[in-house]
Amino acid sequence: GWVAKAAHATALMGLAQALVPALAVDNVATLYDAVRGAVLDDAAPALQKRAYGVLERICACHTAAFALADERRDDVTALLMESLLSCGAAAKRCRLRCLTHLVGGLDLRGNGAHLAMVPTLIGEVMLCTKEANGRARAAAFELLVAIGDAMAAAGDAARAEGDVAVWRACVARMTAQLTRALGMGLDVMTVGDEDADGDGSGGGGSGSDAGAD
C-alpha cells in the first residue's frame, strides 16, 4: 500500500543522498526534480526528511555548479520559500542547512526578490533558535551568522531590510508574550470571581439557615 511505497521511496532517498557528491551536474538536475515533490509534501515526514537531506547535499556539494547557478538559483530559493509552512520538525535542520548554503549566493544588491526574502529568513531563523532539537538550534545560529555576513557584504539596503525584519520579529515576540501574560491575568481574575461568587452563595445560605432557626 501507500505506506510500503513511502518506505521504499525513503530508502531510495537515503541511497541517493549518499551518491550526490559523485553525480554529474546533469544527474543532479534530474535528482533535484525528483525530490521537489517530497520536499513540499508533509504527508510522509520520514520521506520529507530524506528529501531535504538530498537537497542539502546538492546545495553543499554542487553549490556553484547547480544550486547557485544562474539558471537554477531562483528555482531553488523559490522551492525553499514555498516549502516553509510544510516543513516538518524532523526536516528542519536540513532545511536550515540548505538555506545556509544559499544565503551567501543571494544577490541582495540588485535583486529585489532576493532582498525581500531577508525578513522571512530572519523570522524563520529566530523561531528555530528555540527548537527543542539541539542540532536544529545549532543550524539556526549558523544560518543567522550567514544572513548577517550576506547583509554586511550587500550594503545599506540589505542591512536596512534586515534591521526592519529584526524589529518586526522582536515586536511579534513581545506581542506573543504580552498576549500570554494577559491570558494568565484573565484566568486569575476569572478564578478569583468564581471564588468570590462561591463564598457569597455560601454566606447567603448560612444566613438563611440562621433565619430559619
Residue 119 lies in a domain: yes
Domain that holds residue 160: 104-189
At residue 211, the pLDDT reads: 46
CA 128, CA 137: separation in Å to the nearest integer?
A: 6
Residue 175 lies in a domain: yes
At residue 194, the pLDDT reads: 56
Residue 88 lies in a domain: no
Q: Is the dihedral of CA 66, 128, 124, 90 positive or negative?
A: positive
Q: Is residue 148 packed enough to be buried (19+ CB in 10 Å), middle (13-18) or exposed (0-12)?
A: middle
Collect all residues with Cβ–Cβ distance below 8 Å to 211 and sequence separation of at least 6.
none
Residue 84 lies in a domain: no
- Tens digit of pLDDT for each residue in 102-154? 998 888 787 888 888 888 888 888 889 888 999 999 999 999 899 888 888 87
Residue 93 lies in a domain: no
For the chain, the domain total comes to 1
